[in-house]
Amino acid sequence: MGMNGHIEMNSDLFYHAGYCLMNRNCRSLLPPLKMPRFHSRRTRVSTKYPQLAKVIKEKSLKHGKFTLASGRTSDYYIDARLSSLDPEGAARIADAILSEIEGMKVDAVGGMDMGATPIVGAVAIRSFQLNKPMPTFVVRKDVKAHGTQKLIEGPIPPPPCNVVIVDDVVTSGGSIIKAIDAVEKHGGKVLLAISVLDRNAGAKEALEQRKIPYRPLLTLSDIGIKPE
């Protein structure tokens, strides 16, 4: 390839090629011409987790008229449990979360029941398979009046402990904030909050006020939805 992007070939080869094209007996002597390869450009996916985005879009995204937990209405709904309780979905969510917390000194991963329940179960199993067992827990919405009467269920380490809070689809961040409150009441420190998908409706700002770093695995644009 020349300086100006033109294909350069040896002048002797051109002479030889022209001669042989006119002489049938010589055509077999003509070396095969190797043409340069041109690679088509592929569209880049914005998310770090394109396979997870594919699962959420195919299994969880619904169109219609819906009322969200925050009270807001929307013309689409993401039924996250259809992905977090799906074999592939659970595995991809767990792998993405473990990737996000790699290298951090985390003692446990947990979140609010019920959005975080299948997620932390998948994280526990996947971390064990990777020989990096991670304790997980869920925060109850209501404390039972019988039994141990615990707010936090699962093997959360005693304080002081470093915790990561997870949730599925986050709108205003209310569920994550409740889980953070429970962990802090327990005596733990929340290092990071992670959502499977953020609806861009106030969670980031709410967590910034609490000075909690926040990382959504996916955003609306990753599944083809224009942010409201």
Whether 51 has a pLDDT exceeding 60, the answer reads yes
Domains of the chain: 1-38 (no CATH), 50-223 (3.40.50.2020)
In this predicted structure, what is the pLDDT of residue 28?
43
Buried b (16+ CB within 10 A) or exposed e, 134-171: bbbbbbeeeeeeeeeeeebebebeeeebbbbbbbbbbb
Q: Which token pair is 221?
A: 């644009």
* CA–CA dist 97, 75 (Å, integer): 28
Residues 21 and 15: beta-carbon distance below 8 Å: no
In this predicted structure, what is the pLDDT of residue 40?
31
Mean pLDDT score, 106-113: 98
pTM over 0.75: yes
Look at 20-24, 36-40, 210-214 and tell me which has the smallest mean pLDDT.
Answer: 36-40
For the chain, the average pLDDT equals: 85
